[in-house]
Structure 1
Amino acid sequence: MKAIVYVGLKPGVLDPQGRTIAGSLQNLGFDEVKSARQGKVIELDLKSENAEAAEARVTEMCEKLLANTVIESYRIEIEA
């Protein structure tokens, strides 16, 4: 079973990396880019065969290590 965790900054949190990405893309001629937000994707291979149990464990992982829940939000996808 595989879990994919998407972590990104919460709305309202400043994102200097995202601002740099947007500015660089604009400098390269991609004028349609108004702004960018930077995040991370984490893929986990799990031993679990129960999707609900796997999601609960990955939620624990996010709360304890994978996301700084003060400034970041996360979304989990479980694939069989």
Structure 2
Amino acid sequence: MIKARVTVTLKNGVLDPQGKAIEGALGALGFNGVGHVRQGKVFDVELQTDDRTEAESQINAMCEQLLANTVIEDYAVEIA
């Protein structure tokens, strides 16, 4: 079994209203010096294979087809 972690974030230049709201809330809670917050999402996926190359191919296909909106989002894959 191979475990993978996919991190999806908005591309630079894409407005992130949720990140902006979090940034404001952190300031209101007294966390000074927070300059910029961007939010994202994380997926932990377990694949029933021992073939790392096949796992990477499957995860990338999952990201391209479902997990990330590649028009406005970037993704990074970590295979454990």
Range into which the TM-score falls when normalised by the shorter chain: over 0.9
Q: Which amino acid aligns with 1:10?
A: K
Gaps of at least 5 residues in structure 1 are none
- CA deviations on 1:50-72 (whole Å, 9 max, x unpaired) are 11110110000000000000000
1:25 aligned partner: 26
Matched, 1:44 2:45: yes
- CA deviations on 1:4-53 (whole Å, 9 max, x unpaired) are 00000000000000000000000111111011000001000110101111
- Alpha-carbon RMSD across the aligned residues, in angstroms, is 0.5
2:79 aligned partner: 78
TM-score by length of 1: 0.96
TM-score by length of 2: 0.96
Gaps of at least 5 residues in structure 2 are none
1:4 aligned partner: 5
Paired residues, what number?
79
4+ aligned runs moved over 4 Å, structure 1: none
Identity of aligned residues (%): 53
